[in-house]
A = this chain, B = another copy of it.
Amino acid sequence: MDPLRIGIAGLGTVGAGTVEVLQKHGALIAARAGREIEITAVSARSKTLDRGFSIEDFDWYDDPTLMAEAENIDLVVELIGGSDGVAEALVENALAAGKHVVTANKALIAHHGNELAALAEKNNAALYCEAAVAGGIPILKSLREGMAANAVTRVYGILNGTCNYILTEMRDTGRSFEDVLEEAQKLGFAESDPTFDVDGIDTAHKLAILSALSFGTKVDFDGIHIEGIRAIASIDMEFAEELGYGIKLLGIASMNDGVVEQRVHPCMVPIDAPINHVEGSYNAVVADGDFVDTVFLEGRGAGGGPTASAVIADILDIARGARVPLFGVPVAQLANTATRDMNQHYGAYYVRFNVVDRIGVFADISRALADHHVSMESVLQRSRDPEQIVPVVMTMHETDEGALRNTIEQITAMDAVVEPPVVIRIETF
């Protein structure tokens, strides 16, 4: 069979890793693909940067979007990143020209996945993005193919290694969020602008893709409730442990009675739950299918090697002739499902108020809870020095989030409550 000829746009860590793996394992990969995978063209910002291989063997493109017109490219690997701009133009043009596309770009697929998947179908091109979610973990393939006999009811995971690293360090060392973030930035584990990671946006990009694939619904990034980890204090880590929980930033999507709920926020998870054992920069995804029950996958969520591994798995699939739609079924068959508003979310909660310790405060708080029919499960208070500011921690039995928010609003308005409370949802997997 003819070689599959690929053009790689973007030669950062993942792009350079992809070239490295294809060169090192050329024979192995050809045996598995049943044909050669040949890099014919590359594009990057710098032509002169030393990446450990010679770019002389490949056609060079200053403008990657021109790869879409190249006669000697069957498949474009988009590793530029960003939800719009050059990456979007390249993928659109390549698909429109009938070229296959493999991308690691979660923002692009989260924002434009429906249109791009439809464009791919229209032009009989394959579009895959395994590397966009959870790096080296073959989670999209597992959902799309391995669990294809199931109606998936829930999918959730630790999808951002930076946040998981920060939370793990906070737990293990007792240090503050800011402190650990700064260190992570110095070590290169966090970006200089950490917004996408620590504010949950990166996790939400990935969750949007998981959700569409799991439930056969259109990608709906805007339907995701997103909170990051900036508000978590080391004292919350201590309280969590005392209550038998760990704190993880999770992306959670579930399908109940035809309504999808998509949310990204810090969660308290049982200390013994498998997801709580996912440490440092690892990622993990848990999927519940109605026949297979629960499947749990864990591995490296980032890095050149793991991400290149996922990119090449997609390339290999295409080389072997796979043409499964990006989201498991053709875009025309994806449902336009309403997303549940977070006020309708039903769950348990951890709430930490900072209050001035004086007589009657607790009675006022208790009355506010009762007024809104919110049922307290437990309360923890660290110290009792009159007129000092003390943390009061409560866990609430399952309740509607709307009721909880109204309660908290009422409590926060009290004179003795000195800061906005920290609210962490409790998940019992």
Contacts and interface: CB of A to CB of B under 8 A. Distances in A.
Interface string A170-188: 0000000000000000000
Contact of A25 (B25, B28, B141, B149): B149
A399 to B, nearest CB: 31
Nearest to A306: B292
A70 interface: no
A295 B137 contact: yes
A81 interface: no
Contact of A308 (B291, B297, B323): B291
Interface stretch (A55-63, A159-167, A313-321, A371-379): A313-321
A31 B325 CA distance: 11
Contacts of A309: 147, 149-150, 289, 291-292
A21 interface: yes
B289 A294 contact: no
A266 interface: no
Given A31-B333, A291-B17, A293-B300, A147 B138 contact: yes
Contact of A138 (B145, B274, B303): B145
B292 A136 contact: yes
B291 A305 contact: yes
A274 B293 contact: no
In the complex, the count of this chain's copies comes to 2
A145 B289 CA distance: 21
Contact of A329 (B21, B31, B142): B31
B299 A149 contact: no
Interface in A256-312: 274, 277, 289-300, 303, 305-306, 308-312
Contact of A320 (B17, B289, B324): B324
Contacts of A293: 136, 299-300, 303, 305-306
Contacts of A311: 149
Contact of A313 (B146, B306, B316): B146
A189 to B, nearest CB: 16
A225 to B, nearest CB: 27
Contacts of A296: 296-299
Interface in A103-156: 130, 136-138, 141-142, 145-151
Contacts of A146: 130, 138, 141-142, 310, 313
A313 B149 contact: yes
Interface in A320-377: 320-324, 328-329, 333
B138 A312 contact: no
A309 B295 CA distance: 12
Contacts of A216: 28, 31
Contacts of A320: 322-324
User: What 4 A-B pairs have minimum CB-CB distances, sorted nearest first?
Assistant: A138-B146, A149-B312, A136-B292, A291-B305
Given A137-B295, A277-B277, 17 more contacts: A21-B149, A28-B151, A31-B329, A31-B333, A136-B289, A138-B142, A141-B146, A147-B309, A147-B313, A149-B312, A291-B308, A292-B300, A296-B297, A297-B297, A320-B322, A320-B324, A321-B321
